[in-house]
Structure 1
Amino acid sequence: MNYNIINNNLTTKNLNINANINLKLNEEKLQELLNNFCHIKINNEIEIHYKFFKIINTFIDQNYILNYLIFIVENILKNYETFIVHVNIEKLTLLEIEKNRLFVQEMSNVLKEKFPDKLEVCNIYEGSFIFKQIYNLLAIFIDKKTLKKIRFQE
């Protein structure tokens, strides 16, 4: 999959929508869900909400979700040297971590390769005790420079 966004106006028209989508979910509502999932908060800050990923992941291919995230980062980097991420993982379960493991790995790899040294800080909110324990185990696989940029917020 090519993760380069050609069109700077990414909309749901650019996304491959699954035929199983509920007919009541129109393009405007889908765009709203994507924006609620990931958007520019202010300046160089991106806000990501897992609960909206969980919804849109049921009817949009994960490659297109990743392209949407890349689109957001690229727009920030037009005006700023780095970006800050705020990730709210409220309601994230162990089962969902396992279910989306490959997507998270792919997202991490693409962001690391496409935007090296552009992450300023990643704030994680609503991380459960179990998630923090898993993170501590996985931290040995994360380079020290990136590890210093990840912060859990209460």
Structure 2
Amino acid sequence: MNVPSRMDLRADKCSIERTLDIVGEKWTFLVLREAFSGVRRFADMQATTGAPRQVLSARLARLVDEGLLRKEPYREPGQRQRDEYRLTDKGRDLYPLMVALMHWGDKYLSDDDGPPVRLTHRGCGAPVAQHFRCTDGHDVSGPREVTPVPGEGAELRSA
């Protein structure tokens, strides 16, 4: 049986393209970085990201609409009710992507004195590292050890 190649498949069904459609913008990644660091309030996110107010508001609204963040109301004494932004399971599932971007930046873009942040395991203090493994438990060192095959949702391009 002839297995279609990646070139034979419809590009608009690509999971990478669909993901980038939601998160593939600088301010969105910075908002997610802050959410993963425990920052939940608009003013704090604006201060740590430097995002213009309208940009931050639009990014937060999109992340809520897409189900990556959820709003949770809070009220400081004597103040009006406001919303905090908390990661959903869908949002938390982006953590490995964020760590991969950070590690790449640490390797190729850090200043001579090293990366600005190191991730350590809360339980023991050891550095956090990412590894690829197949479901049979074999380490996968890179793209040359991976074969893309059409998935259940693949569709062939029209001729």
User: Does TM-score exceed 0.5, indicating one fold?
Assistant: no
The structure with more radius of gyration: 2
Higher strand share: 1
The bucket for the TM-score relative to the shorter chain is under 0.3
Higher helix share: 1
| Structure number with higher relative contact order (C-alpha < 8 Å, ≥ 6 residues apart) | 2
